[in-house]
Structure 1
Amino acid sequence: MRRVLVPTDFSDNALNAINYALEFFKYEICVFYFMHAYQDDIYTNEALLTRKTLEKATNLVSKKSKKQLEDVLKIVKEKHPNPRFTYRTISSNNVLVDEADKIVDNENIDIIVMGTQGKTDNRKLTFGSHTLQVLKYVECPVLAIPRNYKYTQPKHVLFPTNYLIPYKRRELKLLCEMLAPFRARVDMLYVAKSDKLSMRQEDNKAFIEETLYKNDTHFYTVNKKHVSEAINDCIAEYKIDMLVMVNTRHSHLENILYQSSIDKISLNVGIPFLALQNIKRDNF
């Protein structure tokens, strides 16, 4: 049974991510956890908030959150009736990243699905601040869906790697099983001046090939100076439907996510983006 956490702020972007998740997992038996962490909403008008009115404001926001989750559940059941699915709603007076982290641990979540942007919808940024925090700090694979992306079956997947990291079998198995119903092609992209690999790299490459046994997997080497440029070129040229990267020490994705400012991210993700989490992140 697949356990899927779907955080929502009830924006159009969040609803779009929900629709994508329900289509993407329609062949699997799934439990969906629709979660709204509303602590930030309580303090939206902090200038008008006092200790006396805090409890009242919290109750109002809590009731609104639960009602909106009920509305989401009603829409989901009407638009995506599926006997394989069961649903749970979670309304929490917490910040998003902390609540997501707690649910992932308590419910043994397999994957988080959310929009690349939330209500603020800053189109100049690849990821909104909440999505970026989840990507960086929650120990769980994250599938981020771009704004207005219309669901299409993932037939061609790009997976850039340097073959230096020992992948988690559970996460590669997750990728394998998710893509198998679509008979997707997976292109493993190695950006380097030479396709000669070390013994460690050869072992990790063999492990990938062994674990993705249900998928049509191909291995390529591209000579480019900038990894982001190579990825963007491949996405455009080969009509890639999904991008997969691993977030760990010294990986391509860490170099992108941990630049000094999020507006410096040079990866222009216009397709669903799956970030695998290879090690536990530092607390922040």
Structure 2
Amino acid sequence: MRKILIPTDFSENALNATEYAIDLFKYEKSEYYIMHAYQDDIYADETLLEKESIDNITKLVSQKSSEKLKAILKKIKNISPNPRHTYHIISANNLLLDEADKIVDEQNIDIIVMGTRGKTNDKNLTFGSHTLQVLKYVQCPVLAIPENYKYTQPKHILFPTDYMIPYKRRELKLLCEMVSPYRAVIDMLYVSKSSKLSIRQEDNKSFIKEELCKNTINFKIENGKHIINIIYKNIKENHIDMLVMVNTRHSFLENILYQSTIDELSLHLDIPFLALQNMRRN
């Protein structure tokens, strides 16, 4: 049973990500947890805070959250009455990051799917602040869906790697099972001046090959320093449908995520982005 968490702020981006997740896992028996954390909403309207008590505002916001979640559920069931899928809605007086963390642990979630931006929708940012927080701090794979991205079967995947980290079997298995129904081709891209791999790198490469065995894998090496530019060039030239990277200590992705803004590195992604989290889950 695949367990998927979908945080929502009821924006178009969030609904689009929800629909993408339902399409992506249509062949798998899946449990969806659609969650709205509304603590920020309680304190959002300063004028209302002056007139009403916190208890009254909390009650109003909670009621609104529940009603909107029920409306989303109704819409989903109309769009995709898939007998393989079951749904849970969660309305929580909590911060998004804390609630996501809690559900991931309690339900042993396999993957979080969310829009790259929410209500604020700053056009100058690739990722909104909530998506960035979840990518950085929640120890669970995160699939971020760009604004207005219409579902396309993930048939060509780009997976940049330096083969230095020991991958998690569970996360590679997730990727393998997620894209194998679409007969996906996975390009493992190693950006290096040398084509020779160390024993450790060869071991990790063999492990990847073994775990992604249901898919066709191309092992590619490209010479160059500017990794972002090489990734972007590969996405465009090879019509890539999904970018996969691993977030671990001292990894290339961690360096991107911990910049003051991800966009300083011009990673303007217009395809789904899967961040595997190679940090230990408690």
TM-score by length of 2: 0.97
Counterpart of 2:138 in structure 1 is 138
1:134-173 superposed matches below 5 A: 134-173=134-173
Counterpart of 2:196 in structure 1 is 196
Work out the percentage of aligned pairs sharing the same amino acid.
67
TM-aligned CA deviation for residue 213 of structure 1:
0.6
TM-aligned CA deviation for residue 266 of structure 1:
2.4
Q: Is residue 219 of structure 2 the alignment partner of residue 219 of structure 1?
A: yes
Aligned equivalents of 2:18, 2:166: Cα separation in 1: 31
Counterpart of 1:27 in structure 2 is 27
Q: What runs of 5+ residues in structure 2 fail to find an aligned partner?
A: none
1:209-232 Cα deviation digits (max 9, x unpaired): 011010101100111211111110
Aligned equivalents of 1:222, 1:270: Cα separation in 2: 23
Amino acid at match of 1:62: S
| Secondary structure in 2 matching 1:135 | helix
Aligned equivalents of 2:266, 2:233: Cα separation in 1: 12
Counterpart of 1:250 in structure 2 is 250
| Secondary structure in 2 matching 1:188 | strand
Contact 2:228/2:265 (<8 A) preserved: no
TM-score by length of 1: 0.96
Contact 1:161/1:188 (<8 A) preserved: yes
Q: What runs of 5+ residues in structure 1 fail to find an aligned partner?
A: none
Aligned equivalents of 1:51, 1:105: Cα separation in 2: 38
Counterpart of 2:276 in structure 1 is 276
TM-aligned CA deviation for residue 195 of structure 1:
1.2
TM-aligned CA deviation for residue 264 of structure 1:
2.2
1:146-198 Cα deviation digits (max 9, x unpaired): 00000010110000001010000000011001111000000000011111111
TM-aligned CA deviation for residue 269 of structure 1:
1.0
Counterpart of 1:99 in structure 2 is 99
TM-aligned CA deviation for residue 49 of structure 1:
1.6
Counterpart of 1:3 in structure 2 is 3
Worse overlay, 135-144 or 43-52: 43-52
TM-aligned CA deviation for residue 259 of structure 1:
1.0
Counterpart of 1:127 in structure 2 is 127
Counterpart of 2:108 in structure 1 is 108
Counterpart of 1:44 in structure 2 is 44
Aligned equivalents of 1:123, 1:160: Cα separation in 2: 26
Amino acid at match of 1:107: Q
Aligned equivalents of 1:23, 1:121: Cα separation in 2: 24
| Secondary structure in 2 matching 1:244 | strand
Amino acid at match of 1:243: L
Amino acid at match of 1:202: E
Counterpart of 1:73 in structure 2 is 73
Contact 2:116/2:145 (<8 A) preserved: yes
TM-aligned CA deviation for residue 262 of structure 1:
4.0
Contact 1:158/1:243 (<8 A) preserved: yes
1:57-88 Cα deviation digits (max 9, x unpaired): 01000000000000000000000110000000
TM-aligned CA deviation for residue 280 of structure 1:
4.2
